[in-house]
Structure 1
Amino acid sequence: MKLEWHVWIFLLGAVKGLDMDRLERSYIEGKTPDTTNIHGTNVATLSQTPPEGQQISTDGWTANCTSVASGHDCNQAFDADNSTYWQSASGTTIQSITIHLGDAEMAISGIVVVPLQGQNDTHLIEQHEVFLSNDGDNWERVAYGTWWPDESLKVAAFQPRKAKHVRLSAPAPTGIAISDISIYQDRYITPDPSLGAWGPTIDFPLVPVSAAVDAHSGELVAWSAWGYDQFTSGKAAKTQTATWSPTKQSVTRRTITDTHHDMFCSGISLDENSKIIVTGGADGGETSIYNTTDRDWFVGEGMNKDRGYQATTLLSDGRMFVIGGSWSGGVGGKNGEVYDVKTNTWDELPNAKVSAMYTKDRRTYRRDNHGWLFGWTDGYTFQAGPSEQMNWYGSADSGSTNGAGNRTGDQDAMCGNAVMYDNGKILTFGGSPWYEDKNATTNANIISLDKPSQDPSVIANAGGGMNYARTFHSSVVLPDGTVFVNGGQSYGVPFGQNDVQMTPELFIPDSSSENGGTWKTLQTNTIIRVYHSLSLLLQDGTVFTGGGGLCGSCESNHFDGQIYTPPYLLKADGSLRDRPEIQSVTPSTAKPGTTVEVTTAGPVDTQAAIIRYGSTTHTVNTDQRRIGVELKSTGDNKYTFDIPSEAGRAIPGYYMLFVMKDGTPSHSVNIQVTSD
């Protein structure tokens, strides 16, 4: 496909009426990056979606730069001639180009940069920052991060901001060269702090399909597949990873070859000590472990069965349970097995029957994908979906399977979400009867767990159902017990970008309500988040949401993430609220039933929460769970609360403790719940 720059249009979303088998073949094959013709030169697009809105005419633009190599002035970066380009001089630590768009204020939504072609990896931009300004003096950073160091198009998309000036900066002591810069404008979305706020955007050198938060550093560790922009179904024995540091405001990349594991489409769980355990996927039998203390990857013992799209969860005794995963290694028979983290051994559970959780998807290899698993008491796992049928899986001896009834008023909900938002209460929502090529639903249910021997209670039509039908969406439980939901499609097409939902929403629990709560719409976003996107709660109570794509030339790759700030952190004028502060927690490591003492900088609310760190891929985050705790004052801003006494209600691992003041959460402090 060769499109003129002004008609760079992305069409995959129109595939809804096409043959799904043909589409599936195209993205499993992992096609090479597409190209577009820009001013007579073919440039690799990496099949990215451009920023929302329209490209701005360059008429009337002026520019200045930190430095200029002889004959390559600033304005040659936007003169519609690829034989000319701006090149900075070498020797300056930070290089930047600042463009004045004219006197009219515009709602800027992003930039697209064409690196100088054929330069043999010299003068490329990797680390970068994008700033906007109205007056040329006061600047707001709207995007930053790291681009992959090649000659493909570089995109930075962000929530539209009104501006007259745009600046791109990059640390490049050897100089940088840019053939073309395009700037986009879109409709302005009036800020409303009561709905939260979007920004900034963090650019990644890969499509972040999978990710976990490192409890020790607060960093987000993300990965794609063997390729940073595509995958194939074969075994590649390596994975592209990137780490974003919220404190350093930086993104670093790394190719992992030591574990000989393509971790695309894997299962993920955080163990008791916050190590990230990644199983199966494209290399179906492998186990890789990221040690968050050493910040390095290690080889774990391989599973007994090859699996991809399986689900995993930690058990009450610290072992890890896995089930399903027919995307890799053959279809069917993917019964349960458990991994003992301490001994690095796997044991099969032949009586933990995967067939009990099959959906009715028309494709047999889809029927056991992305299970909604929740580790619970006595070594049991509750499977809430996506099958309509729910089950209890036991891990003793050879395992066990016991039906737990159906989600009332629901159906199979492939690629829907399930979140434990409070003390054994699970919210399920969205999804569709088949993995793809079906309408999504607004269905929502509240499931309340008690004993593994009992069927849970189910409230149908929770909150009256979502405002928007969604599949391929992502979600995060927040410190106040609400559940943030973002992205998705109303009609599920992997890698499609039609029928997208751009307005997130919030579930607000209310135990006094017949439906268990209400749904509220939030601030509309302008970056599409559908298949292969994710969301994770951060230590400061904000949400990282990003990704989507990883499909070669299917034109829906999103090499970025974005920060959403919930309303509980914002004043009416949009500035940040004052927050309560945790000064100390004793002990910081606790067994079930332990009483924990908390000292704060001032009085706080009696209601607080511990939230387990999350790990996520393909709509599944079996690690996150929130447990509401009651603070009992002991005087002098000292409080106590109890870890649940029954092991498994708080599965072992690291949790973020948040205290609240008038509805505003503190920055979190870690508490490790150990196995009993």
Structure 2
Amino acid sequence: MGDNIRSIQMSVINDQIFQCAQSTCLPFNNLTTSDIRQCQIDCLSPNQCIAITFYKFTFQCQLFNDSLNQNGNMSYEMNVVTMISIIGTRYPPELALITTSSSTTSLSTTEAPRIWTTTGSMNYVRGTHAACVLANGTVLVTGGYDGSYLNTAELYNPSTGTWTTTRNMSYARRGHTASVLANGTVLVTGGFGVGYLNRAELYNPSTGTWTTTGNMSYARIYHTASVLANGTVLVTGGWNGVSYWNTAELYNPSTGTWTTTRNMSCTRMYHRASVLANGTVLVTGGYGGGYLNTAELYNPSTGTWTTTRNMSYAREFHTSSVLADGTVLVTGGYDGSDFLTTAELYNPSTSTWTITGSMSYARDCYTASVLANGTVLVAGGQNSGGYLNTAELYDPSTGTWTTTRNMSYARDWHTTSVLVNGTALVTGGYNNGSLNSAELY
């Protein structure tokens, strides 16, 4: 780490808390800070600080020291950020957050060079599949389409860069959702296989098995599923082949049952949903017989929806990303006439939208991922020129985009998962046929 004892290199991990090897391990300091930046600064002063866990809702900052009973195990918990010291290394190689301080405790960040590298290919070609990062750091990929509808599932091991098959789902499906619950199991809902599905099932990572759970009230594809702060899962909208839905329902993991909640103001599919720092859910855009610029908020405490300001642009197949400061970045998509480069920010404090820098490439059916350093990686998709291998980065501090290296494969309808080590795993998708290739950023 050099001669400056106040220079710390840390990896940043979202939705994971620092887990000690022994139950007697406790943070050496518990603070309430104004934001995560202040939590970082508080870790720089005491030399023994090697890990931070910051709780976004309560602004609680926990500092851990380098005692023998601690290790790198992680435990899943929503709406927290953990930073772990990796002194003496540059880890991960492609993405590292460098936190430094002088005697005046100033703070700066730099980034390691970014590149794409291919990793092991999946066992099955697939697009319109779902992927999620499990509590143990592996990635579960489910379903999709390869010319037929898939019930296959497989696991990516970041340590070896290899894929292993796991048990098949009970139902073949594409256009479904996969959500990691608080207990570590994965809830898969809806999609299309043998017809439009209201079926739901649970994957247990400990046993590698699937079990069916309660059916949704409505069959739906191209819906959204959001894990709320209380552990329930909110499913919204979608399509059943005949109707666009404004319906919403809640899954209770404790009982394995669904209950309907109030309907959205607009019917919509191809929309996006983001859980905000205050626990409400922001739903944006989509298609419901027309291309939508509308946005609305779900309040889990009351079970009600309220409309908020409209976006500046109607869009479907866009992305929605919650940034570190709590604002929401919405980018790209399609408005019925054009593929979009435009981007805008939603401020939950004022309920307003503001235009920010436009992307370099118009695109829809792509992915957007918030990286450990707070930037947003946009990759792939399609536009009028065809399938895209381009990638670019949004910097929230400047509101600007910069292009980065191209992916090895052009693709749309793929998935991108941010791994525990900070790298981004891209899997599958379409490019004149389904793909099984995977690559790391």
TM-score range normalised by the length of the shorter chain: 0.5 to 0.7
> Deviation at 1:295?
2.9
Q: Quick one: which of 462, 469, 486 aligns to 2:362?
A: 469
SS at match of 1:256: coil
- Say whether 1:295 aligns with 2:208: yes
> Deviation at 1:296?
2.2
CA distance in 2: counterparts of 1:344 and 1:487, whole angstroms? 36
- Say whether 1:199 aligns with 2:117: yes
1:215-614 equivalence runs, <5 A: 215-225=134-144, 229-231=146-148, 239-254=151-166, 256-257=168-169, 259=170, 261-282=171-192, 283-326=196-239, 328=240, 330-349=242-261, 351-353=262-264, 356-358=265-267, 368-376=268-276, 380-386=280-286, 387-395=292-300, 399-407=303-311, 410-434=312-336, 438-450=337-349, 456-460=351-355, 462=356, 464-491=357-384, 498-510=385-397, 513=398, 517-530=399-412, 532-549=413-430, 555-564=432-441
Q: Structure 1 counterpart of 2:213, which letter?
A: G
Name which one, 1 or 2, has greater alpha-carbon Rg: 1
SS at match of 1:197: coil
Q: Structure 2 counterpart of 1:247, which letter?
A: S
CA distance in 2: counterparts of 1:429 and 1:333, whole angstroms? 23
Given that 2:167 and 2:209 are in contact with CA atoms closer than 8 Å, whether structure 1 keeps it comes out as: no
The worse-fitting range, judged by mean Cα deviation, of 471-480 and 243-252 is 243-252
CA distance in 1: counterparts of 2:118 and 2:334, whole angstroms? 32
After TM superposition, the score normalised by the length of structure 1 is 0.45
Structure 1 residues 245 and 198, CA gap change in structure 2 (3 angstroms): same
Structure 1 residues 392 and 340, CA gap change in structure 2 (3 angstroms): same
CA distance in 1: counterparts of 2:216 and 2:246, whole angstroms? 11
> Deviation at 1:390?
0.8
Query: Which residue number corresponds to residue 125 of structure 1?
Result: none
Q: Structure 2 counterpart of 1:201, which letter?
A: T
Can you list the C-alpha shifts for 1:53-74, whole angstroms capped at 9, x where unaligned? xxxxxxxxxxxxxxxxxxxxxx
Q: Structure 2 counterpart of 1:207, which letter?
A: V
Q: Structure 2 counterpart of 1:230, which letter?
A: G
Structure 1 residues 249 and 500, CA gap change in structure 2 (3 angstroms): closer
Given that 1:214 and 1:274 are in contact with CA atoms closer than 8 Å, whether structure 2 keeps it comes out as: no
> Deviation at 1:404?
0.2
Given that 2:250 and 2:260 are in contact with CA atoms closer than 8 Å, whether structure 1 keeps it comes out as: yes
After TM superposition, the score normalised by the length of structure 2 is 0.68
1:105-254 equivalence runs, <5 A: 196-209=114-127, 210-225=129-144, 229-231=146-148, 239-254=151-166
CA distance in 1: counterparts of 2:148 and 2:228, whole angstroms? 31
> Deviation at 1:545?
1.0
Given that 1:357 and 1:385 are in contact with CA atoms closer than 8 Å, whether structure 2 keeps it comes out as: no
> Deviation at 1:272?
1.6
Structure 1 residues 239 and 419, CA gap change in structure 2 (3 angstroms): same
Q: Structure 1 counterpart of 2:147, which letter?
A: Q
> Deviation at 1:467?
1.0
SS at match of 1:545: strand
CA distance in 2: counterparts of 1:479 and 1:247, whole angstroms? 19
Given that 2:392 and 2:401 are in contact with CA atoms closer than 8 Å, whether structure 1 keeps it comes out as: yes
CA distance in 1: counterparts of 2:400 and 2:416, whole angstroms? 21
> Deviation at 1:253?
2.3
Task: Name the Cα RMSD after superposition.
Answer: 2.4
SS at match of 2:390: coil
- Percentage identity across aligned positions? 22
Given that 1:305 and 1:329 are in contact with CA atoms closer than 8 Å, whether structure 2 keeps it comes out as: no
CA distance in 2: counterparts of 1:477 and 1:533, whole angstroms? 16
- The runs of 5 or more residues in structure 2 that have no matched partner are 1-110, 287-291
Q: Structure 2 counterpart of 1:275, which letter?
A: T
Higher helix share: 1
SS at match of 1:480: coil
Aligned length: 322
Structure 1 residues 506 and 378, CA gap change in structure 2 (3 angstroms): closer
> Deviation at 1:199?
1.1
